[in-house]
Structure formats: structure tokens, C-alpha cells
Amino acid sequence: MPPMTFSAKMCLLVCALSVFMLYGSGHPFLFGLSILNAAIYFWSLGVMDNFARDKYRELGIHEIKYLPDWMNEASHKRAMDTVPNWLAVMNMISVFLGVGLLVYGIVINIKTEA
């Protein structure tokens, strides 16, 4: 199975950095929200991966890295189509919330240092 994509790693980094930036900022609600948001993002990413892996197994593909490029792309699209829309929306909202919390955490840290 393919490893975590670069974009998924960056989104996870954004959610984790929002937790770091809000730690000790004097906003316990936002800090708790950022922890919950990072956990939701990581959970939804794992569940979406499980849906894709199940589809790969249905297609009879166990090692995707050995497939030709054209077959790899087609099977990947079929596997991604099995992910429920509500789960993808939850993942996307979690990323947007993570970006917002990260920006707010940066602003708070800049204001407290000045």
C-alpha cells in the first residue's frame, strides 16, 4: 500500500502545529479544541485509508507499488471512490479548522512577545 501522501503529512503537521502554538497561550478552550481537531483529522485519515485498502483487496491488489503506472492510477481512483463523502468532508473541515487555529495561535504568540 502507498505511504501517507505529502499533502496528508502537511495537513497533519498543520494540525499538530496548531496544538503546539496554542499550548500555554492562556486559551484552554482553543488548546483543547486544537487537540480534538488533530485527533479527528488523524482518525478520519486512517478510516479513509481503511476504505481504500478494502477496495484494493476487492480488486485483488495486495502490493500496489509493483503495478504499472496506468493500472496504479486507475485502481487508486476506484479505491478513493469508496470513501464516504461525509468522511471526506469531516477531514476537509478538520484541515480548515487546523489552519485557522494555527493562524490564531501564531497571532497570539506574536502579540504576547511584543
Task: Evaluate whether 102 touches 14 at the Cβ level (below 8 Å).
Answer: yes
Question: What's the rounded Cα separation, in Å, for the pair 5 and 53?
Answer: 15
Query: What is the pLDDT confidence band of residue 2, given thresholds at 50, 70 and 90?
Result: low
pTM score of the predicted model: 0.78
pLDDT tens readout for residues 55-82 = 777 767 665 555 555 555 565 666 667 7
11 CB contacts (<8 Å, ≥6 apart)? 41, 95, 98
Average pLDDT of every residue of the chain: 83
Question: What's the rounded Cα separation, in Å, for the pair 91 and 87?
Answer: 6
Question: What's the rounded Cα separation, in Å, for the pair 95 and 38?
Answer: 9
